[in-house]
Structure 1
Amino acid sequence: MIKLRKIFILSIALLFASVLFADMVVPVSALPQSARSFIQNTFPNAQIFKVEGDDGKFKAKLNNGIEIKFLPNGEWESIDSDYTPIPPTVLPNAVQNTVKNSYPQALITDVEKEFGNYKIKLNNMTELFISSSGQLIGQKMDD
């Protein structure tokens, strides 16, 4: 009986902790202005339908299937797409050129900034690792 009570209390505590630390829906106006401008300029035909905030970071979900994670300063950290290609213009010119020269017909479906480098997934199941200066560091087939 005591063991069951401990399990029950532990379960309630874990449930409370998960709710307490979960992303919270916030108004679009909570996004930094630079993040809202980025969305408007990069995806002009899309509407923001949900914004979540957690520990100063934000996640914006757009009605075209794009999800963008932003740092507290409004700089994007990652962009993920279900079915809408991500414009190469989100990348520095050197990185854009490397992607275009490596796979000219492929579309970008996911971009992530990692320690000054970029991890880019393409619609041909290829994952590229490119430095901010445009050097191709590595590539692999995405599984």
Structure 2
Amino acid sequence: MENVKKITRVFILIFILVGGFISAQDRAIHANQLPKTAKNFLAAHFKGIPVSSAIEDREIYGVDEYKVYLNNGMKMEFDSHGNWKEVDGKHQKLPYGFIPAPVRNYTARNFPNTYIVKMEKKRWSYKAELSNGLELEFDRNGNFKRIDD
């Protein structure tokens, strides 16, 4: 009888885990369903470029992130609160308004014939990909750290 209870508990645990993974999925949403912070970011930095699609990445505990694709091919990722995490210009020049000034200044000074095509914001750092393929890493204050391989 003890073994039957253990086996039953294992099956219940597996069922809960599998059910959680099945319920965690991406869902297409309308751009006006994005968090206000993300909508404000798009309006401020990508005004006039229509959103072609928006995806809500849902996890067991709620929304994990949002992915937004613009008609010009650019892609953005926002956290669950609508703060930008990544902006990928897909080889197009990014608008510089949201990029920290020290990052903009460093790239303009040291790589004058390039422009930023992708920007990532991590917890403690930034990563900027340039039009020449170089990836530059900066600390959270925008101070240059290294060229990433």
TM interval, shorter chain, is 0.7 to 0.9
Give TM-score, length-normalised by structure 1: 0.79
Q: How many angstroms does 1:139 deviate by?
A: 0.3
Q: Choose the corresponding residue for 1:71, options 54, 79, 83.
A: 79
Q: Choose the corresponding residue for 2:48, options 45, 48, 70.
A: 45
Q: Could you give the per-residue CA deviations for residues 83-127 of structure 1, whole angstroms, max 9, x where no partner exists?
A: 421122221112221222221221111111122211111110100
Q: Could you give the per-residue CA deviations for residues 23-77 of structure 1, whole angstroms, max 9, x where no partner exists?
A: 2111212201121111111011200110000132110100011111011111100
Equivalent residue number for residue 10 of structure 1? none
Letter in 2 for 1:103: F
Unaligned runs of 5+ in 1: 1-13
Q: How many angstroms does 1:140 deviate by?
A: 3.6
Percent of aligned pairs with the same residue? 24
Contact 1:86–1:110 under 8 Å retained in 2: yes
The structure having more radius of gyration, on CA atoms, is: 2
Q: CA RMSD in A?
A: 2.0
Q: Choose the corresponding residue for 1:36, options 39, 58, 66.
A: 39
Between stretches 83-92 and 63-72, larger displacement belongs to 83-92
Unaligned runs of 5+ in 2: 1-17
Give TM-score, length-normalised by structure 2: 0.76
Q: How many angstroms does 1:17 deviate by?
A: 8.5
C-alpha distance in structure 2 between counterparts of 1:29 and 1:89, whole Å: 22
Q: Relative to 1, partners in 2 of residues 1:137 and 1:30: Cα closer, same or farther, differing over 3 Å?
A: same
Tell me which stretches of 4 or more aligned residues in structure 1 moved more than 3 Å: 16-22
How many pairs align? Answer: 127
| Residues 58-137 of structure 1: pairs in structure 2 closer than 5 A | 58-137=66-145
